[in-house]
């Protein structure tokens, strides 16, 4: 069985257990579940441990992003007197992913102050590097710490899509620097010392 919205059956190859002439295939390869029948003259000494059949799927051109599976729904043995053990196959997980990893908390070319938390939006992420060094995520997040110069973040998913962002993270300002910035921003240009003292007191009150 397979998701016909995402996949199309492109073909098949017969493996080592049965020959091509011993197969009857469903004519409509676009319908799911896809059914086929393999026959032998006798099943007494046959154990299908070798390659049985290889189905070849193609992702449709307009397939949306989605996680899905290709699964073997049923194996049936017919015209046999005694029980024959047939092992079901395991569902194979796969995903259609046309989208590069997305992030929240930073933007390419941005400048940030202090430890900056970055949230990654990618279900099939394989790696995140900062200046070439791999970082580990916790609950889908990691932290960019202040550093000299720019930092390049590269995110890669299982399909090979990459997202690259270059940012600057500066140290967070000290309380004294915050006061100086406030005074510079709102103090009168006349240089009135009393007004500047009042501004400083107000700034310290805000910090307190």
pLDDT tens per residue across span 144-191: 999 999 999 999 999 999 999 999 999 987 777 777 777 777 666 545
Neighbours of 114 (CB within 10 A): 12
Q: Record the pTM.
A: 0.68
18's CB contacts (< 8 A; 6+ apart) are: 38, 39, 40, 52, 53
d(CA 93, CA 3): 12
């Amino acid at each position: 069985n397979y998701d016909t919205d995402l996949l199309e059956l492109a073909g098949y190859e017969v493996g080592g257990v049965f020959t091509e002439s011993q197969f009857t295939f469903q004519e409509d390869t676009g319908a799911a579940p896809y059914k086929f029948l393999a026959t032998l003259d006798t099943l007494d000494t046959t154990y299908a441990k070798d390659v049985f059949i290889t189905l070849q799927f193609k992702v449709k051109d307009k397939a949306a992003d989605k996680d899905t599976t290709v699964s073997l729904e049923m194996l049936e043995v017919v015209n046999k007197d005694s029980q024959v053990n047939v092992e079901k196959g395991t569902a194979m997980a796969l995903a259609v992913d046309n989208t590069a990893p997305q992030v929240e908390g930073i933007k390419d070319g941005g400048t940030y102050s202090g430890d900056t938390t970055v949230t990654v939006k990618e279900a099939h992420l394989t790696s995140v590097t900062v200046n070439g060094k791999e970082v580990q995520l916790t609950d889908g997040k990691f932290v960019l710490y202040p550093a000299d110069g720019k930092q390049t973040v590269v995110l890669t998913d299982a399909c090979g899509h990459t997202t690259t962002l270059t940012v600057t993270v500066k140290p967070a300002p000290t309380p004294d620097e915050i006061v100086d910035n406030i005074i510079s921003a709102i103090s009168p240009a006349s240089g009135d010392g009393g007004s500047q003292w009042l501004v400083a007191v107000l700034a310290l009150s805000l910090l307190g």
